[in-house]
Amino acid sequence: MDIPFYQQLSQKDFDYIRNIVYKESGIKLSEMKRALVQSRLLRRMRELGIHHYEEYCNFLRDNYDDEIENLINCITTNKTEFFREREHFSILQRIIEQELSHKNISIWSAGCSTGEEAYSIAIVLFESNFNGQFRIIATDIDTKVLQTAKNGKYPIEAVQVLDVSLLKKYFLKGKEQYDGYAKVKDFLKEKISFQYLNLLDESFNLKGKFDIIFCRNVMIYFDKDVQAKVLKKFYDYLPKGGYLFLGYAEAIVSANLPFHYVAHSVYQKR
Ligand SMILES: C[S@@+](CC[C@H](N)C(=O)[O-])C[C@H]1O[C@@H](n2cnc3c(N)ncnc32)[C@H](O)[C@@H]1O
């Protein structure tokens, strides 16, 4: 019987993989990420029945157009949760009620992962004193997480951060084979359009402007050059007075754009 043998990821193969990941997604994998890349690639290699990193690199070379999506899906970090960095949702509610309550508004959740951020935004809009219509576009480069987001089905533990009243209003409790899961109700799901979008792609084209853009815990994976390009895109997609929410650990430092600091990692276009 063949015993699977997963050797170490060599410097040459690591460099090959990280150059491709950077070119395709803007995600910068430093030397320190070697163990992480190694374990993430292993998952994909198991699916393919490949036992050597070098063999996987050859497979990728030979099947580039088909395999690149799987490579990006296995490399991205998708950690998220409902009402993550909670203070931002109070700020969002305040902005909606004080400045936008009579408008039709558009919100973009960029790097939405499995959808919890976009659903949390939609819940805030429903719970706010708000008389307009709204649409939310939620995008990610990872096609696997987008599928989870579209399904809107989460383990019950993931939704337990919500108050019981919100849970009852916006989720259905799974039964039989869905026991242990909560499903987003259709009226909430219908407010969000989940789409594939690579922030690095110079030519992506979303319709219209966005009053508010959330791009939290995405740009930490980019280097300064890519961050500056993406920030410029966000700047162009915001109207004057529009808001940009970054992750708690992120800030606009050197993009040379007239963003005004409003609150912890929240900026307004001037
Ligand atoms: C850590 S998650 C953040 C999820 C959510 N915004 C939050 O803060 O909870 C980062 C997400 O950014 C996505 N991402 C990374 N590079 C991207 C790119 N070039 N274009 C679009 N999305 C990207 C990843 O696939 C991942 O789902």
End-to-end Cα spacing for the chain: 67
Q: What is the DSSP letter of 222?
A: B
Calculate mean pLDDT across residues 262-268.
97
The amino acid at residue 111 is G
Q: 62 catalytic, yes or no?
A: no
Ligand 1 pocket residues where CB is under 6 Å: 25-27, 76-80, 84, 111-113, 117, 140-142, 145, 197-200, 216-218, 221, 247
Predicted confidence at residue 1, as pLDDT, reads: 47
Please give the structure tokens belonging to residue 2.
Answer: 């063949």
- The pair of structure tokens assigned to 96 is 């909606």
Break the chain into its structural domains and give their ranges.
11-75, 87-269
pLDDT tens, residue by residue, 81-131? 999 999 999 999 999 999 999 999 999 999 999 999 999 999 999 999 999
Compute the distance between CA of residue 59 and CA of residue 61 in angstroms, rounded to an integer: 5
Average pLDDT, the chain: 95
pLDDT (tens digit per residue) in 140-168: 999 999 999 999 999 999 999 999 999 99
Q: Has 140 been annotated as catalytic?
A: yes
Q: Judge contact between 100 and 62, C-beta under 8 A.
A: no
What is the C-alpha to C-alpha distance for residues 258 and 54, in angstroms, rounded to an integer? Answer: 47
Tens of pLDDT along 2-27? 556 667 899 999 999 999 999 999 99
109 CA → ligand 1 middle, Å: 10
Please, are residues 83 and 161 in contact by the beta-carbon 8 Å criterion? yes
pTM for this prediction: 0.96
What pLDDT, on a 0 to 100 scale, did the predictor assign at position 178?
85
CA separation for the pair 37, 137 (Å, rounded): 30
Provide the 3-class DSSP secondary structure of residue 27. strand
CATH of 87-269, one of 3.90.1150.10, 3.30.200.20, 3.40.50.150, 1.20.20.10: 3.40.50.150
What CATH number is given for 11-75 in this structure? 1.10.155.10
Question: Ligand 1 test: best mutation among 76, 83, 121, most atoms within 8 Å of CB?
Answer: 76
Per-residue pLDDT at 256: 85
Taking a C-beta distance cutoff of 8 angstroms, is the pair 115, 138 a contact? yes
Give the separation between CA 53 and CA 10, rounded to whole angstroms.
8
Provide the token pair at 59: 């497979």
158 neighbors 81 (Cβ within 8 angstroms) = yes
The mean pLDDT of 70-75, rounded to a whole number, is 98
Q: In what order do the strands lie in the sheet with 243-246?
A: 192-196, 134-140, 105-110, 212-215, 243-246, 266-269, 259-263
Return the percentage of the chain with pLDDT > 90, whole number. Answer: 90
